Amino acid sequence: MAAALLVARREVRLLRRSRATLGAGVLLAAVAWLPAVLLPLRRGTLGIAPFPEILPLQIALAAVVLPLLALLAGAELFAGELEDGSLVPALTLPISRRACFAGKGLGRAATLGAVYLAAFASAGLAVAAVRGPTGWQDWVVVTGAGLLVSLSTGGIGAALGAAGSGRVRAFGAALVTWIVLVFALDALLLTAVVALAPPPPGAIGEHGHEELAAPRSAGGTEMPIHDPHARAAEPEEPTAGALSARLLALSPVSLFRLTCLAASPDLRPRLALAMPGGTGAGLWSTIVAGWLIWLAGPLAAGLRRFLRADLS
């Protein structure tokens, strides 16, 4: 543990002097501030938009930009120093590769996480000071979920660059992974969720008063009103909402959106309409399990590749 903390302090010192850290801070500030500034410009005015107006654009922008920044930062974690050979002297010291991996990951996550929180906290405080605190809970939710998706995709980037294949190949793999996660896989999962969604309200009431007089079971058969045990006799199956939540957990980007909707006081009713039967404790168990897998899985894969990397 002491060796890992020593490597983490070294990583923090290197990042403080790096121009890449300053560039990452500027990009994160742009992601945090642009929605609040751009929305008033669409109306031809100058100022800052309130939290309820910012939220949809903030989620859309963060879902695209944050994974890209995190993947590139993670890919450079080991690929840069392994290519330059600057990490080899540190490994000749009585420090295990596991401690080196944990220390560098901890140092980079702490530094860039602090930059991330500073950028989003400054934007949130400015919006609250100018337009009032209404909807600040949604901003906190998006900020927290954005930090989770950044850490998870940063771990994926670290796993891509841990084999010592060089910066170019690591960055290329990170860009391909970003395209797959943000566009291809996300679109596929959203298509599946739409297919599982309930019918629109226009399809309800087509049978007139008979539809109200004869309650129907999940299979569509009429269910007598006087039998209280008829519904209980049906086998319990996962609802479409529960299946949709599990599908969205297959991608960190989709899981980011699901977390924002589930934890937001204002957007939670919309989620209940889109995913009936998929909210509640079951939804949160899926979200927590999904984040644990996406946070721990890439780190385990990256450590495995780093232990097998040829540093000669």
Span 106-142, pLDDT tens digits = 999 999 999 999 999 999 999 999 999 998 999 999 9
Asked if 309 contacts 82 with a C-beta cutoff of 8 angstroms, the reply is: yes
The answer to whether the CB of 3 falls within 8 A of the CB of 99 is yes
Averaged pLDDT, 263-283: 77
Instruction: In whole angstroms, give the CA distance from residue 116 to residue 112.
Output: 6
Q: 214: which DSSP letter?
A: S
In a domain, 91, yes or no: yes
Residue 280 has pLDDT above 60, yes or no: yes
- What is the percent of the chain with per-residue pLDDT over 70, rounded to a whole number? 84
238 located within any domain: no
Is 148 part of any domain? yes
What distance in Å separates the CA atoms of residue 35 and residue 29, rounded to the nearest whole number?
11
301 is a domain residue: yes
The domain total for the chain is: 1
pLDDT of residue 208: 47
DSSP bridge pairs for 216: 222
CB of 145 closer than 8 Å to CB of 116: no
Q: What is the pLDDT of residues 232-244, one digit of tens each?
A: 444 445 677 788 8
Q: How far apart (Å, rounded) are the C-alpha atoms in residues 196 and 111?
A: 41
Domain hosting 191: range is 2-197+280-308
Assess contact for 245 and 275: CB atoms under 8 A: yes
For residue 258, is it within any domain?
A: no
Average pLDDT score over residue span 172-188: 95
Encoded tokens for 20: 């890449």
Residue 4 scores a pLDDT above 50: yes
Give domain status of residue 50, yes or no.
Answer: yes
**What b/e sequence results for 260-283 when a residue is b if at least 16 CB atoms lie within 10 Å of its CB, and e otherwise?**
bbbbbeebeeebbebbebbbeebb
Distance of alpha carbon 138 from alpha carbon 52, whole angstroms: 8
Mean pLDDT of 154-167: 88
Is 71 a domain residue?
Answer: yes
Position 269 in a domain = no
Mean pLDDT (whole number) for 92-96? 79
Predicted confidence band at 248 (pLDDT cuts at 50, 70, 90)? very high
| Amino acid 237: pLDDT | 52
Higher-pLDDT residue of 141, 207: 141
pLDDT at position 233 is 44
Query: Model's pTM, two decimal places?
Result: 0.85
Report residue 89's pLDDT band, with 50, 70 and 90 as the boundaries: confident
* 213-224 confidence digits (pLDDT tens): 445 544 455 454
As a whole number, the mean pLDDT across the chain is: 85
Query: DSSP for 55-106?
Result: HHHHHHHHHHHHHHHHHHHHHHHHHHHHHHTTTHHHHHSS--HHHHHHHHHH
